[in-house]
Structures are given as structure tokens and as C-alpha cells.
Amino acid sequence: MRPFRIAVPDEDLADLQRRLAETRWPSEIPGSGWSRGVPLEYLKELAEYWRTSYDWRAAEARLNEFDQFITEIDGVDIHFLHVRSPEPDAVPLILSHGWPGSVAEFLDVIKPLTDPRSYGGDPSQAYHVVVPSLPGFGFSGPVTEPGWDVGRIARAWIELMSRLGYDRYVAHGGDLGVWISLTMSAMDSEHVLGTHVNFLVTPPSGDPAELAGLNEQDFGRLGMLAAWAGEQSGYMKIQATRPQTLAYALTDSPVGQLAWITEKFWEWTDSDKVPEDAVSRDQLLTNISIYWLTATAGSSAQLYYEMADQLPTAATPPPLPPPLPVKLGVAVYPHDASLPIRALAEPRFPNIVQWTEFDRGGHFPAMEEPDLFVQDLRSFHDALAR
């Protein structure tokens, strides 16, 4: 394992500013708002802020506050943050992001999770925290061969935790990190103490009897799932079918990359008019800058291609997972892209020990509502002991 510090060359930042200044802007249909995508005037203003006011060096310094490493697993350099708790009995915890996330999602929660004593918490709920960049994402760099699907990433994470000397640990995931965490828990149940997720997808199996006991709220959530899988999943269909074609545009145009990710932060968060209602502008741009500065828009999209047969569509739900052999905690944030239905989850996940319904937050809870995120993982720590 090699120590690692983020140090983006000055010329890369100058190139970004030049490209933003020379953007060739499209027209738009007046009055469309967000219905056809990111509004032109909003994106122009956001791009200008990125060019003239956003401070990557400050974000870089904040990322570098945490110990980072690179280790080669299965032929790929894996980047990860590793922050050990000062509490000797802390439980190891691996946090897996998805798309369009990054390790920057977790910057606000690492210290409260590792050092609850200093953040108003119970020191018995402390975690040692490991935050890897998915292969092909950010500082884990592009993958160079096919086959890096969810199962392969899960095996890499199992190997990573073993190399770190963690015999028993907890796995958390959001977005694609949910699939990764559930998969590694099934593969490595003798070492995984429990799995904690937000954005659990619970499609119906197709058996009409399964729907008989659902209530009005449950059917509303089925409607959310259908809307997400149908009208809101254009990004997913492109990345799952033509990731290389998409890569040329997003790798060459920072405004293209900006729009591609900003749309999701507006659509999937607890925001009203703009994404900054849910996350700060600088948080949003740090996440997007990681994709741009590492040129991983295309390589991150490849993961969707690798798992295309597992993704939901308007007509076909994803395959049902086998029963999970470890304890499961589920956090539900009301403004997520889709919300799970407990009556459909329990037969598939018989070991649910914690199910929390929050009244605020969305798809990126560690950024949007870090206090709630930390609170839920601390209580899950206790639930595992019961």
C-alpha cells in the first residue's frame, strides 16, 4: 500500500478555466425550466462560478486532511481513504459510493464516525472508516479491461479489508454502492458483521399476491420506482449501452460534465429550485471536479455497461437478490430517486434489524444531511450488538 496525496497540476486547472471560458453554448426552448434538462441560464452562472470563484486547492487540501493510499488489487490501482478511530474497540466500516458520487460524498461524516467522543456521541459507537474510489472512478483511475462488474468490485473490497487487517467489519453503500455492499456481504458473510444501505430498490416480483397487502404509501413508492426506471433513467440507458460514445463529450467538455452530474443532484436530492437547496455549490463542484480532473466520466460509465442485466427498466425490474445472510439496516430519505417498500423488502432480507424513515434528505445523505447519516450508522452499531 502506497501513501497517496492529491496534487492536481496547475496546468490542468488552467486548462479547465480556459475550456469553461470558451464554452460553445446551445439554445433552449424558453420556459422549459428543468423539464428538458438543466436550464441554460442556470448552467451558465454555475459554470462561471466554477471558472472564477470555486477553489479546487481548498477542496484538495480538505481531501488531503485524511490519510489516503493506493493499492493494486486484481490489476487495478485502488485509491482509498483510511481513517482509524482513536477508540481501540472501534468497528471497521467500509463506505461505498456510486454514480455520480465520489469519496468527497463522505467528507462531512468521517470525523464524527471515527471520533464520536469529540462530536457529541458515544465513544462505544466509533468506527474505523475506509472509503475507496470505485474502479474507474476518480483517483482509482480508468479500468483497462472488461469485467469490472459489481461482483468483481465486491471481491476487491473484501480483499482490501483483509489487507487492512480487518477480520470483522460493516459495509455501507448508497446508489451503486448498495449493490456492491449487498454482494460483498453475501460473498463474505463470515467477516461482514452487517450491511447498512440507503437507496434500497424493492421491485415487485410479479406475483399478484405480493401486492395484496400493500397500502397507499406503498403504491406511491411503486409509482416512484416506475418513474425513475422509465422517464428518469436516460443517463442509465446511455451509460449501460454506449459508455464509450458518451465519454468523448464528457471528457472534452467540462460544461458537458457539469450538466450531466448537476441534473442528478437536482433530481435526486431534497432540493426545491436548484441543487444548492440540498448541497452547497462548492460540495457539488468538488464532486464534479473529481470526475473532470481525473478524466473518468467514461470509465465510470463502464460500470453500468458491465451490470446492464441487473438494472431496472420501465418494463423489467432487476432480478431479485438471494436472501442476505447478514444483518441489514435500511435508511430511507424521502426525496431519494426511489423509496423502498418494507413489505417487499422483508421476505428478501429476513435479517432487517433497523429501518429508519427520515423526514428530509435525498440520494446523497452524507452530503445533504450528515447529522442524520451519522446518527443512523451509530444506531446501527448498537443494533448489530442486539
Looking up cell 469485467, which residue turns up?
Answer: 147
Q: Are strands 352-357 and 327-332 parallel, antiparallel or unpaired?
A: parallel
Give the ranges where 242-296 is alpha helix by DSSP (H).
243-252, 254-267, 281-294
Local structure of 226: helix, strand or coil: helix
Please choose, from the candidates 346, 359, 14, 299, the residue with its C-alpha nearest in 3D space to the C-alpha of residue 137: 299
Chain center to CA of 112: 19
- The catalytic site residues sit at 175, 304, 363
Looking up cell 450538466, which residue turns up?
Answer: 259
Please choose, from the candidates 129, 137, 186, the residue with its C-alpha nearest in 3D space to the C-alpha of residue 161: 129
What are the strands, taking DSSP E only, across the chain? 2-3, 68-73, 76-83, 91-96, 127-132, 169-174, 192-198, 327-332, 352-357
